A and B are shown apart, each in its own frame.
Chain A
Amino acid sequence: MKKMQRSLSFALVLIMMLTMIITGCGAPAEPAASSPAQSASQAPASSQAAEVPKEQVELTFYCVADSQPDMQKICDAATEYLKDKLNVKVKAENFGWGDTYTPKINPMLASGQPVDIVFTANWAANYRVNANAGYFVDLTPYLKDSPIREIVGDDFLNGSAINGKNFAVPCNKEKVHNWGFLLKKDLVEKYNVDVSKIKKMEDLEPYFDAIKKGEPGVTPLLNVQMEGPFKLLDWDNISDDDIPGALYPDNRDNTIVNQFETPEAIAMYKKMREYYNKGWIHPDAATQDNFSEEMKTGKYFAVVQSMKPGKAEEMKLSTNIDWVQVDITTPVMSNRETTGALLAIPIGSEHPDIAFKFIEMLYTDKFLKNLFVYGIEGEHYEKVSENVVRLTDNTGYRAGNGWRFGDQFIDYLLENEDPDKWEQFKAYNDMGIPMNSLGFAFDATNVETEIGALKNVVQKYYKQLFLGTADTDSTLKAFSEEMKKAGVDDVIAEMQTQYDEWRKAVGK
């Protein structure tokens, strides 16, 4: 034991000493370290220099969307195509949607894994939180003379910036959103659903009932994690979706509220509880975690999605199911779009310059962009005309969702899609009501720990409420109490202060 004690004290002293050496002494010398993304401060190598790097480097690109069987083929094709352009070996992978994607990406960012490009948004991989924490390279200097500036437009670039710095590049897509349902087409026809008469969720109730009774094995309403009718409330969230703090989506005032505790939200929880008890929501909803996977099984009638022109046709590509589109909420233009789909370069990346060039090509290079959307020509799709393609029977690559990166307006159109799709997008963009908060970017630095704690609380409770799997009143009570303890009031007060200051500054 004596010996053990001596060993112990020796080991402890050793650890203490080493810890002091490597941490204590270094700390005061570099106070600047706390500002986000300072390591990106070295200016990017001139982005004009078009020369091909001599040595092939690996470029990892992680994105949302379901994992695709033929991903390797796409990577090989991209590598081949880029050989005399960027000379990179592309390693791309999809990790599923939102709640499956985020947990995969977060630890990578925190531990600084050498990843080159990741997808991020307000609903996936916590764009604001991670940007604030300095996990993304500051792309402002890169964007200065980039063609992206013109393609995306200053409104989007500024809208997605944090304290005037762009930590990610927004995709060029529709700039407006609204929410609605996708209904499974065969069931719509079978049950004679008059789509034009459906103005709110309640209008679907008779059909839910009929389908529950008439279609064994089909669940009327798909509700998985955050993807469900709660979205129809369309909160203008100040930060990410799972952080309290939002404005009403109709510009009624400038008071930030805790959207999870509003009367509207509570009514929605009660409704969901009712639906759940009626069997309109899948009984295993609490443990389902792959929204898109469930959608593809074809065992659901109604699915809540964010809408835009041609959404149903777009979803046919990734789900292989025919849908009918029903719009519910009015189109608005909010920060949800500016931070709705972004590509960022993690700070662990070893080749940020090349990574940025790759991102740039997703905006400017039609071949590369469509390769990641539709796959390989002649294998996964065939060209019908210059800009229109037809899918083949090969389902090895069905990523679709061209809005995830780059410029969606250079995507090919599918045969079933309206040839005017991009024109409609423009019209749709004009329809949107701009939110008061458009352009406001919350800086979470002062309440970082509170937000971390709140996220944990929200993760613990939201499913029971959003999916109706547990008693509403008691759950809500516990939820409110824990949010309070985790500092929700401080967070919302901080948001309000920043928001008011911002409004003063921009004169809104």
Chain B
Amino acid sequence: MMSKILKKQGKLNQISATGNILLNVLFIVITIVCMAPVLLVLSISFSSEEAIRHGGYSFIPQELSLKAYDYVLKAGDAIWRAYGVSIFVTVVGTFLSLAIICMYAYPLSRSSFKAKGFFSFLAYFTMIFGGGLVPWIMVYTRLFKISNSIWILIFPYLMNAWFVMIMRTFYKTSVPESIIESARIDGAGEFRTFLVIVLPLSKAGLATIGLFCTLVYWNDWYLPLMFVTERKFFNIQYLMYQTLVSIQYLTSGSAQFSEAAVVLANLPTESARMAIAIISIGPIVLAYPFFRKYFVKGLTIGAVKG
């Protein structure tokens, strides 16, 4: 009541107009710093090779050119394939890991589950202790033999102890035990309660973890670096990594480029690399607005109140 009156009364606890302008200036500067490198890459991707050679990389393309994109789109096969791998891995991986993490976190949030300490620890321990690189690689290559397959890009990231912790806290705070209790009295089993009551109440948490998982999968280049040698399993990030080393990776398997004798010297190598970077950023930035609404809420409850 008090607060409402105060708000109506005016600007008792607001900063001054000058202060507000100063803060806005500060944030405009920060926004520019955040955007600048991305804009630079964007600008390079639209510059002609000639202009780059003369003026170096700059924020405003001296000479506008779509050659890089033209080249990248024509060189398509490798890129589209990598794009497809990234999308598949991201969609399937996010779905599976979200399911696994949510299911793992739920019992840990229930006070009636006696062994929750032990199972929390099993997850948490993996965050602080690991067996090392070589054994980890060997488990996948020798024991399970799934290197060079699409599953190696998905499996290792299915569980994430940190996300489990966030999700557990989220359940604890946003799903009242009393609702679960009443569902039990109505005769619903644990699974049914989980699916019908708990999950719908945890949309914000799911969205948060979902976004995290999406980022993990989309931005991954480490797994292909460690495990993948066959080109058909390269994802877009790893293709970018390879492109830094060799621009030829782009044209791999492309009909247009093997028919005509293309001298490497004539390719828009500098701008093409940047064009791929821009193309790879696209989907993840576009996905953000859809998650945003839930995301802040999920993060608030999951990470903050824990």
Contacts and interface: CB of A to CB of B under 8 A. Distances in A.
Interface of A: 3-4, 7-8, 10-11, 62, 66-72, 91, 93, 95-96, 100, 104, 107-108, 110-114, 216-217, 289-290, 293, 296-299, 320, 348, 393-397
Contact of A66 (B117, B141, B226, B246): B246
Given A3-B118, A320-B261, A114 B254 contact: no
A39 B241 CA distance: 36
B229 interface: yes
Contacts of B263: 298, 320
Nearest to B244: A289
Interface in B216-267: 226, 229-231, 245-249, 251-254, 257-265
A393 to B, nearest CB: 5
B265 A67 contact: no
B121 A395 contact: no
B248 A110 contact: no
A217 B53 contact: yes
Given A3-B118, A93-B230, A114-B145, A69 B138 contact: no
Contact of B252 (A67, A100, A293): A67
B147 interface: yes
- B interface: dominant SS: helix
A93 B231 contact: yes
Contacts of B53: 216-217
Contacts of A348: 141-142
A290 B229 contact: no
Interface in B169-220: none
Interface string B269-284: 1000000000000000
A111 B142 contact: yes
A297 B268 CA distance: 11
A96 B246 contact: yes
A397 B246 CA distance: 16
A7 B123 CA distance: 12
Nearest to B142: A112
B258 A8 contact: no
B141 A112 contact: yes
A114 B253 contact: no
A221 to B, nearest CB: 18
Given A114-B145, A396-B258, A70 B253 contact: yes
Interface residues of B, number: 36
Given A70-B253, A297-B264, A4 B117 contact: yes
Interface of B: 53, 117-118, 121-122, 125, 134, 137-138, 141-142, 145, 147, 226, 229-231, 245-249, 251-254, 257-265, 269
18 contacts: A7-B117, A7-B118, A7-B121, A7-B122, A8-B121, A62-B229, A69-B252, A69-B258, A104-B229, A111-B142, A113-B141, A114-B145, A217-B53, A290-B245, A293-B247, A297-B264, A395-B262, A396-B258
A429 to B, nearest CB: 34
Nearest to B119: A7
A10 B117 CA distance: 12
Nearest to A105: B229
A424 B137 CA distance: 47
Closest 4 CB pairs of A and B: A396-B258, A3-B117, A111-B137, A298-B265
A117 to B, nearest CB: 13
Nearest to A396: B258
B245 A393 contact: no
Nearest to A115: B229
Contact of A11 (B122, B138, B252, B253): B122
Given A69-B254, A69-B257, A296 B121 contact: no
Given A395-B258, A396-B258, A11 B265 contact: no
Given A7-B121, A67-B249, A289-B245, A299 B265 contact: yes
Nearest to A394: B258
